[in-house]
């Protein structure tokens, strides 16, 4: 008798344990994530969140301008829940156009002011998750072979010996390249900024879709110079490739990588869970092991040792509100298409 009841109790405990263990994966539903950073970091985030919550994540990596365009195209029937990562300008534009929704996370109290400023500017519809400065990376061997001085400034990229040897992304698809467009306009003034981009066009071999692609091309010697976020060039420098990251001497712009919840998200509660989790120090610490060296927005998150020191750079006072506004972003992109990309 005694042994039978022991067996029954044991069986019950085993079934209960199995049921409990199975609960998170079964009952927590799903989340559709549009991810704007490098694939490796996107995967690290979605896997860690799934593991922690049992919520199944369907993740797609795209460039920031593409995600914005997708949200706009899907606005009458939203498919995405959370847009995580990518430069802040298109997040701000989406906020202004009502493509994303308000949220206030309990984690806000732990964030740097620059992250909260995005949130305030967007009426709570987007928030800063990391920061990084714009610059370029050059292939040291290629520059040496050309016999030209090592480029240190934006002006150096106009050297005729760099003809067809500079790569940068297309600002329509890429948040990085829009950041460049807005940076030169703010740094040089609109007329001189466009003159600069037209002159640079002579040296550009191709406008890539993704913003970070030119860093890889420069690290492989497929191009002499790649205009990218500096941390994207650091990725290849730290692994020993012949690429040198540069913070341009005239000064440069920077991004506030952002996160927004899609308006009309089908999995709104899960989007909020992801949002809160993504602002924690533990989640923000997942960037560095995935070779992403931005500065995290949570004050308590570790800053990767490899992160470029923004405090030592000459940074412009980037006007995120203006250059993230719908009218200004649309205007500058149309002007760039007409006056720069259309050039032979
Ligand atoms: N890669 C990294 C590491 C970034 O920080 C960012 C911008 O947030 C991007 C890529 C942006 O990608 P894209 O220019 O393709 O929109």
Fold of the CATH domain 132-253+327-341: D-Maltodextrin-Binding Protein; domain 2 (3.40.190)
Q: Is there a contact between 28 and 53 (Cβ–Cβ < 8 Å)?
A: yes
For residue 12, how far is its CA from the centre of ligand 1 (angstroms)? 51
Closest CA to 171 of 69, 79, 296, 56: 69
List the residue whose alpha carbon is closest to atom 7 of ligand 1: 86
Which atom belonging to ligand 1 lies closest to the Cα atom of 64? 16
pLDDT tens track, the chain, 344 positions: 333 333 333 333 333 333 334 444 445 899 999 999 999 999 999 999 999 999 999 999 999 999 999 999 999 999 999 999 999 999 999 999 999 999 999 999 999 999 999 999 999 999 999 999 999 999 999 999 999 999 999 999 999 999 999 999 999 999 999 999 999 999 999 999 999 999 999 999 999 999 999 999 999 999 999 999 999 999 999 999 999 999 999 999 999 999 999 999 999 999 999 999 999 999 999 999 999 999 999 999 999 999 999 999 999 999 999 999 999 999 999 999 999 999 99
The pair of structure tokens assigned to 214 is 């030119």
Query: Distance between CA 56 and CA 154 in Å, rounded?
Result: 44
Ligand 1 shell residues, CB under 6 Å: 36-38, 63-64, 85-87, 132, 169, 174-176, 210-212, 229, 231-232, 255, 257, 292, 294
Q: Is there a contact between 271 and 259 (Cβ–Cβ < 8 Å)?
A: no
Domain with CATH 3.40.190.10 in the chain: 7-131+255-303, 132-253+327-341
For residue 136, how far is its CA from the centre of ligand 1 (angstroms)? 13
Fold of the CATH domain 7-131+255-303: D-Maltodextrin-Binding Protein; domain 2 (3.40.190)
Which atom belonging to ligand 1 lies closest to the Cα atom of 41? 3
- Exposed/middle/buried for residue 76 (C-beta within 10 Å: 0-12, 13-18, 19+): exposed
For residue 6, how far is its CA from the centre of ligand 1 (angstroms)? 59
Helix (H) or strand (E) holding 187: helix 175-188
Question: The complex's ipTM?
Answer: 0.95
In this structure, what are the phi and psi dihedrals at residue 169, rounded to the nearest 5 degrees?
A: -85, 170
Which atom belonging to ligand 1 lies closest to the Cα atom of 292? 3
Query: Distance between CA 82 and CA 300 in Å, rounded?
Result: 23
Tell which one of 67, 168, 211, 306 to mutate to probe ligand 1, the residue whose CB is within 8 A of the most ligand atoms: 211
For residue 288, how far is its CA from the centre of ligand 1 (angstroms)? 15
């Amino acid at each position: 008798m005694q042994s039978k009841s022991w067996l029954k109790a044991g069986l019950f405990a085993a079934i209960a344990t199995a049921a409990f263990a199975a609960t998170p994966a079964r009952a927590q539903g799903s989340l559709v994530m549009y991810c704007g950073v490098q694939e490796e970091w996107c995967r690290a985030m979605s896997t860690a969140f799934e593991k922690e919550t049992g919520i199944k994540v369907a993740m797609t990596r795209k460039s920031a301008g593409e995600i914005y365009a997708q949200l706009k195209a899907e606005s009458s029937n939203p498919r995405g829940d959370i847009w995580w990562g990518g430069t802040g300008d298109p997040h701000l534009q989406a906020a202004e156009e009502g493509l994303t929704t308000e949220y206030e996370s309990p984690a806000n109290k732990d964030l740097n002011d620059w992250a909260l400023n995005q949130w305030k500017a967007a009426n709570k519809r987007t928030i800063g998750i990391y920061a990084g400065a714009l610059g370029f990376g050059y292939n040291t061997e290629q520059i040496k072979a050309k016999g030209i001085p090592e480029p240190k400034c934006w002006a150096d990229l106009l050297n005729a010996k760099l003809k067809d040897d500079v790569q940068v992304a297309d600002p329509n698809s890429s948040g990085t390249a829009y950041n460049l467009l807005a940076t030169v306009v703010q740094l040089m003034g609109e007329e001189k900024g466009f003159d600069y981009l037209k002159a640079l066009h002579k040296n550009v071999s191709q406008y890539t879709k993704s913003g970070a692609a030119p860093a890889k091309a420069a690290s492989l010697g497929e191009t002499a110079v790649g205009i990218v976020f500096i941390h994207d060039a650091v990725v290849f420098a730290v692994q020993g490739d012949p690429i040198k990251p540069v913070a341009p001497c005239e000064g440069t712009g920077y991004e506030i990588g952002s996160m927004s919840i899609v308006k009309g998200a089908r999995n709104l509660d899960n989007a909020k869970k992801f949002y809160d989790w993504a602002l924690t120090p533990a989640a923000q610490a997942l960037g560095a092991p995935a070779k992403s060296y931005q500065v995290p927005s949570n004050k308590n998150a570790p800053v990767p040792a490899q992160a470029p020191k923004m405090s030592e750079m000459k940074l412009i006072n980037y006007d995120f509100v203006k250059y993230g506004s719908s009218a200004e972003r649309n205007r500058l992109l149309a002007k760039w298409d007409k006056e720069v990309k259309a050039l032979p």
